Structure formats: C-alpha cells, structure tokens
Structure 1
Amino acid sequence: MEEKSVRKRREDDQSIQSNEAKTTNLQKQVGLISGICIIVGTVIGSGIFVSPKSVLSNVNAVGPCLIIWSTCGIVATLGALCFAELGTMITKSGGEYPYLMEAFGPIPAYLFSWTSLIVTKPSSFAIICLSFAEYVAVPFYGNCKPPQLVVKCLAAAVIMVITTVNSLSVKLGSYVQNFFTAAKLVIVAIIIISGIVLLAQGKTKNFENSFEDASISVGSISLAFYNGLWAYDGWNQLNYITEELENPYRNLPLAIIIGIPLVTVFYVLMNISYFTVMTSTELLQSQAVAVTFGDRVLYPASWIVPLFVAFSTIGAANGTCFTAGRLVYVAGREGHMLKMLSYISVKRLTPAPAIIFYGIIAILYIIPGDINTLINYFSFASWFFYGLTVVGLIVMRFTKKDRKRPIKVPVFIPILVTFISIYLVLAPIITNPELPYLYCVLFVLSGLLFYLLFVHNKFSWVQKISKPITMHLQMLMEVVPPEEDLN
C-alpha cells in the first residue's frame, strides 16, 4: 500500500511539473514534411490549372513563356533563400513583420501589417475560396453559370470550415494541408505524365519555331513576370510560422530548398504538357486550361481534373489561412492590432482569435463582386514590401553583425532580389500608369493615420472601450495572453 501511495505521489508530482512547464505559447508541431507541404500546397493553387495564359498573353510565344515560368521559379527561390537567413536569424512568426520591425522599426512593420491584414491576405483567401465554390457549383447547373448567391454562400461556408479547423488544432490543420497537397500532386502528376507520353509519341508540332512572333519589350516582359510571380506567390509562407517549426534552423531552409524548386519543375512541365495539345491561340481562348487539357486527353475520365483542381484550391486556402493567422497574431502581440488578437486558446494552443478575425475579414470581401482587379493593383505593394524586407537583410548585415546567422546567403543574392523588386514595382506603373496604383499607395500611407491614433498615442478612451470587450471575449473563447502559465 505504501509503495502504491509513493508511486501515485510521484506521478502526481510529475503531472504538476509537466503542467507547470506547459505554457500558452505556440507549440513546435510542424515538421519538415508538413513544412514542404505548406510551401507546395500554398503556392500551387488554382492559377496553374486555370490561367497560365496570363503569361502567354504578354509574350505571345511558347519559348519566351517557358523561359518566364522558369525564371520566376529562380526569382522565388532566391527570395526564399533571403527569407531563410532572416527566418533563422529572427525566429519569430509573422513573415516580413518581425524582420521589418528589427531592421527599420515599428512604422514600416505596421504599414506592412496594415496592408496585408486589411487587403492582400484576406482578399486572396476570399478569391481562392470563390474559385473553389465555382468549380464545385458548376456541375450542378449544367451549361448555365451558377448564381452568384450560391457561389458566395458556398465560399463563405468553406472559409468558416477552414477557419474552424485551424482554430481547433495545429496538427489538424497540418493534416488537412498534407492531404490536399497529396491530392493536388496526383493531378499534377497526371498532367505531366500525360504530356511526356504525348511528347514521346511525337506531339511536338507546337514547339516548332517557338520564338516566332514573340512580343518582347520591357513592358511586356515585366507584366509577364508579374503574372508568373503571382502564381508563385506563397514562397515565403513558412516564415509566418517559424515559432511552430520543429528545428527551424534545419527545417526552414531545407523545406524552401526542396519545396520551391519542386514547384518550379512542376510549373514548367505542366506548361509543356498544355502546349502538347493546344496551340498558343487555343490556350489563350481556353477559360480553364487544365480542364481543356483533360477534355482532350483524359476523356471519358476528364471529370478528374475539375475535382482535383477543387482539392488544389481548398488546399491553397487552408495553407493561406494557416500562415496568415500567425501574422495577425504577431501584430496583436506587438500592439499593432487589438491585443486580443495575440491571445492563445488555453485548450487548443492555437491563435484562435487571430484566425477567426482573419476569416471574418475574408468573408466581408466575398460580399462585393469581383475583387481580382483590386488584388492585381495590390500585388505591386506586396513586391514593395518583399524588396524592403530584403533591403532590411542587407542593412542588418551592418547594424546587427553579432546576431547568430545559421544560414548566410552570399550578399549578391539579396542585392539581386532588391533590384528585381524595384523593377517589378516600377515597371508596371511606368509602362501602364493608372489611377488605381495611386489609390493603392494612398491606402498604404493611410495606415500612418491609424498608427498615430491607436498605436503611438494610445488614447485612454480606446482602452476604456476595448478592455471590457476583451474581457468578455476572453471568457467566451477561453483564451489567454501568450506565455501565461496554464495553472
């Protein structure tokens, strides 16, 4: 009896010590395979299946088109290597946010979070879910276009499901990401293998004189790069969850080195496959390139393509939600958003308030009509912040020489990425100046007003209003500030 009593007391002591050690920090639950899946699953969305014609339309020839796709992959890899150095030097979640904070201080970091959280991230999430909804709804309406109300309601439902999954568990969100990444790799493999078989059978006619009638100019190349790099967007997503990566010094760079070149190879081979069955003119006339490919090559099993494109789209949406929620969380933790958004679920150890806030903003973007135009004009703002972040890397080589750098890329790489970013920001504005670019700049700068009112000055009346609301929401959602002991 005494032995049992002593053993039970030891077990109780161990349990207490375990509970004491467990705090409400984000847990390191994302391994190498999940990290690769997040990169591949977020980058490969609906774009490569639906409209690679956006690149072709600017260069008008097969040869330059394939070169653009390859070069975009190289640019994305170089940018990701710069972010790998930043991510292993500053092991905080939130992507560009903590790097801009360390390099330039709070104002550039706040402007990044302001632009990302209010427009670019949630509206991208909304567009991905709308694309998924359209693919799912089309078969039920035959040759008719599905009603917008049905598409929007279905997209909102998908956002709520994905938000719930990622709020409940980090591991569950990772499992969902892994499953849908595997599903999209199946259709990628089917398209690539089909293309290789057709090439082996001698279907090479569309590659003859592949540079003939090409439209090459500074403006056309910049716009082609713009569209190509949009398809690669997401190459920096792993930096948003650095705090949840197992062994980030090893897994962050390794996932980048494996994931992005893998995507590049997939993109180039898929474009080659498309051109084996479609001429440039036919590809430009196609509404959904992968579906047209499936109708011509996989018939009567062509239904596989829309199904797996839907899987691919929802996988990209899940990856976007998984990573962008962490940006909201870090901004809240730094006091640049509502403090409540930095709280962590006591039971689930997930940044649930941040993820839910992100989902609500995304649903609001579904209500208006087409927001693709808005995203196109804001993509240049994204590259502005990419470039500024890489400049921050160069600056910190001088201002923070003593910081530990497990990875240190050759200095010519960040310099090259900086010049590429400047080119991508300025070229579209110079070649095709339009007022929406000005509106975008004004919106970004309007963040300074909110920074002065709610972050820098911290008016007492704002705190008086937010404190009781925060307290009630905290009890309702069972969340606490990070690093607070569970006991």
Structure 2
Amino acid sequence: MKPQRHAEEASPVRLDRTIGFLYGIFMQVGMIIGSGIFISPSGVLRHAGSVGWALLVWLACGFLSLLGALSYAELGTTIRQSGSHYIYLRETLGTLPAFLFLWVEFIIVRPSIMAVVFLSMGQYSLEALYSPCAVPRVAVKLLAMVSISFVVFVNTWSSTLSLRVQSCLSVSKLAALASIIGVGVAHVARGRTEYFENAFDTADSRPGSLPLAFYSGMFAYSGWASLNAVTEEVKRPERTIPVVICASLAIVTVTYLLANAAYCAVLTPSQILGSAAVAQTFAENTLGNAFSTIVPLCVALSCLGGSMGSYFTSPRLFMVASRQRHWPSIFSMIHVRRRTPCPAMLLLLPLLLCLMWLGDVHALINYCSGPQWFFVGLVSLGLVYQRVRRPDLPRPFKVPLAVPALFSCCCLGIVACSVYSSPANLGMGALITLSGVPVYAACLTERGRSAWPERVRRRAEWITQELQLLMEVVPQEETNY
C-alpha cells in the first residue's frame, strides 16, 4: 500500500546521493575520533609499558586500520549496496553469518555503545553547571534521553541537515585537539622534553601485554567502515570511498599521534595513567583551572558528533537487512517527502531509551568487542574467498590479496587475545551471538523468506500497511545500486 502523494512528490522515492568528498571526510573523522582521546587514552600506554612503544603502537594501529579500510573500500566499490558488514557477509559467506551479525548488532552492540555515549555526554555536559557538587544521576539520564531524541529527529528530518551538523561537530572536535597539540608543541619548543627520555624503557611492562596495547589502539580507530554503511548515498562511490577512507585515516592517525605526544610531553606517565580525564589534567597543568572547564564541553560535543554519525549509518543496516527479507519489511521503507529511512531510524529508539533509564549498561559494552572484531575478520576473510571464487567480478578498486588476509588474521588475533584478557566477556559475547541461530532457524528459510504460517504472514502484512499509512512511508521505488 502506498500513501497518497502530492504532485510535487511524484519523483521516485529513493535515498538521494548527498555524500561527497567533504561530507564523507567529516563523517568518517567524526565517527572514528570519539571521546576517549579526551578522557582516557591511557590503555595503550598502560599495556605498551613506555611512551615510545605507545606512540609506535598508535602508528601501527593506524596502519592496520588502513589495511581493513582498504579491504572494505574494495568491497564497497564492488558491492554497491549500503549495509557494510551485513551485506558483505551475505554476498560473500552466506545468509547465516550475515543474520548473526545483524542479531548481535541489534541485541547488544549498537544499543549499548550508543547508550554509554549519550550517558557520557550528559555527564560531561552537566559537570560545569554542578561543579564542585556531584551531578544528579537523574539529570544525566534526562539530558541523555533528550539528546537521543534530538539526534533521531535530525536524522529522520533530513539527511543533508544531519551531515551538516556532523561536519560542524567534527570541525569543533578537531579544533579542540589542535589546541591540545599546539600547547604540546609549544612545550617541546621550550626544551621541555624530559618525559621523552628513556622513551623505550619497558622495565615496568608485563610480558605478553603488548597485544593488549594493540587491542586498545584498534578500538580507538573503530568507525572507519561508516561510509560503507551508506554506499547508496555516496556520490561516485567507486572514487569517493577509497579517497575518503585514505584521507580520513591519515588525518586521524596524525591527530592521535600528535595528541598523545602532547599529553606525554606535558604529563608524566603516572599522571596519564592515574587521570580520570587526561585532557582536563593536561589543561590544568598548562592553561590553568579556568580553561580546564572547557574540556567537559569538548567531550560532550565529541560524544554528540559520534552519536549523530552512528545514528545516521546504523539504521541503513537494518533497512538493507529488511530489503533482503532478514528483518520485517516495514523497516526497508522510506518517507515519501523526507527521503529518509524513517521506520529504521525509529527502531532503536525505544531500546535506547530503556537502556538509558536503567543507566548501568557498561557490562553490555564488555560483551561487544569479541563479536565485533570476529565479524570484521569474517568480512575480510569473505573478501579473500570472493576473490578466489569469483575472480572475474568487476572491481573498480582492488587491493593486493595479502591486505585482507593480513587484516583478517589481525582481527581474529584480537579475538584470541580476549581469551587471555577477558574470557568471561568473550564467552558471554559468543553466547549472545549464537542465540541468533535458533531465531534464524525458526523465522527464516534458506532463501531468507519468512518461515511463519500463512495466517501469521497475512496479519503481519496488515500491520505493515497500517504502519505505512501512519508514518507515510513506501518501499524504495528506484535503486541506487
């Protein structure tokens, strides 16, 4: 059923290609650089054991992330559909791995990560108002819930508006980091380099801790696959995706290296490891207490920018899954005037609001890392398999086969490190992932069609039609792939 449309809405309903080079750069950079670089960039230093090795790990993680991003760039220019991990798993390794990724993404990964980000944003936004008193937890939750409602509204109202907001927030985030880097450069220029002496002394490190440093570093670079989630909305994806990926990761790698070098130039390793908010300690040591109050605002803006981008890309995954009959059909539909995936945008909102009100969702975060890196490794492995199985498939952008093979080994190695560092969390993540197998078996046939009885399907179709009328949405009438 199609809601009645006015004459000015007669053009085919589809997602417009609105993401060019600059919007792509700002979206990628904004999603990769999170609040962690302001609050706790100490995980790498703690496990690397020295300043020199920590900076080398940051550089190596940037290079490894580039290998993964280049692998995804080949997949994004070969498979022209949005959906990133999900559609790549489906096209290379089959429907079951794709559905399991979708399942774990919906159950724990996306809701828990976004809930923590919004709660962090609420906490740091209110700190300046309540200082020196503690911020009431209820106030944090209410502000977080208002913020997610704002993010959903902007992304549902207009894709272009969302991209503009993301770009502004990315610029503000880079400006804050540039000020930190500038202060660090000035500090070094005055000859204050004593904290770089014996930079590679690992007397305090524990054997076998270096892989955990890579684990922390790779987590800080996550977000480089965001453009692949919206491939159908990228202008000239065969050119834009590879260029944006390389440029954004170069910007992020240089920024991470210089920001961490600035921290290490001003603060001792013990100060960095013992600080609850490294950027705030940095500001207090260099600019005084008056400027340190700006840091919570920078953290809040960083959280808002990352969540705006995350909520722009994540619903596209469920939209594509619905189009492939792995999710209810209503979530594949697009608003007839706004040209946004309105039902998919609203899918996560109730779950997010519940998690924010509960507040304590950090335990769920611990279960996310293992499944995340496992599926990223499977995607890279799927590229290797596809190259062998379909060597004649047109590939506008092609990387050496060693690139996805090496990156897949790194991702699976990260999962293996979790067996050593947090076996309980990895086991729980695996159980949550495998809980999708009976759902897949009960609800879907091998071809992705519903396995429910005809009577249930007819009832579901009636509900879908009523929701179409309520939300003014229709199936995509013209494809971009």
Instruction: Calculate the TM-score normalised by the size of structure 2.
Output: 0.94
Q: Secondary structure at the match of 2:292?
A: coil
- How many angstroms apart in 2 are the aligned matches of 1:158 and 1:144? 23
Gaps of 5+ in 2: 1-5
- Is the contact made by 2:40 and 2:278 (CA closer than 8 Å) also made in structure 1? yes
Matches within 5 A, 1:330-409: 330-409=320-399
Tell me, yes or no, if the aligned pair for 2:141 and 2:359 is still in contact at 8 Å. no
Query: Alpha carbon RMSD of aligned pairs, Å?
Result: 1.8
The partner residue of 1:472 within 466, 470, 476 is 466
Deviation at 1:446, TM superposition (A): 0.9
Aligned to 1:153: 142
The range that moved more, 294-303 or 94-103, is 294-303
Q: How big is the shift at 1:405?
A: 0.4
The 5 A counterparts of 1:33-52 are 33-52=22-41
Structure 2 residue aligned with 1:483: 477
- After TM superposition, the structure 1 stretch with the greater mean CA deviation from structure 2, 87-96 or 361-370, is 361-370
Q: Is 1:73 matched with 2:62? A: yes
Asked if 1:238 corresponds to 2:232, the answer is no
- Of stretches 400-409 and 55-64 in structure 1, the one that deviates more from structure 2 is 55-64
Tell me what 1:106 maps to. 95
Shift of 1:218: 6.5
What are the within-5 Å matches in structure 2 for residues 183-222 of structure 1?
Answer: 183-214=172-203, 219-222=208-211
- 2:309 maps to 319
Runs of 4+ more than 3 Å apart: 213-219
Alignment of 1:148-297 (within 5 A): 148-214=137-203, 219-297=208-286
Please tell me the residue identity of whatever aligns with 2:245. Answer: I
How far apart, in 1, do the equivalents of 2:273 and 2:384 lie? 41
Distance in 1 separating the partners of 2:418 and 2:92: 28
Q: Give the deviation of 1:367 after TM superposition.
A: 2.8
Return the alpha-carbon distance in structure 2 between the equivalents of residues 87 and 117 of structure 1.
22
How many residues in Structure 1 have an aligned counterpart in Structure 2?
468
Q: 1-side partners of 2:422 and 2:278: how far apart?
A: 30
* Structure 1 residues 64 and 249: alpha-carbon distance in aligned structure 2, compared to 1, 3 A threshold: same
Query: 2-side partners of 1:396 and 1:271: how far apart?
Result: 39
Q: What amino acid maps onto 2:113 in structure 1?
A: S
**How far did residue 484 of structure 1 move?**
6.7
- Is 1:458 aligned with 2:451? yes
Question: Which letter maps to 1:305?
Answer: V
1:141 to partner: Cα distance: 1.6
Kept after mapping to 1: 8 A contact 2:9/2:337: no
Q: Residue in 2 aligned with 1:443? A: 432
Deviation at 1:420, TM superposition (A): 0.6
Q: Which has the larger radius of gyration?
A: 1
1:368, distance to aligned residue in structure 2 (A): 2.7
How far did residue 362 of structure 1 move? 2.1
The residue matched to 1:254 in structure 2 has which SS? Answer: helix
CA shift, 1:199, in A, is 0.6
TM-aligned CA deviation for residue 386 of structure 1: 0.6
Query: Are the equivalent residues in 2 in contact too, given 1:58–1:215 (CA < 8 A)?
Result: no
SS of 2:348's partner is helix
Whole-angstrom CA distance in 2 between matches of 1:252 and 1:169: 22
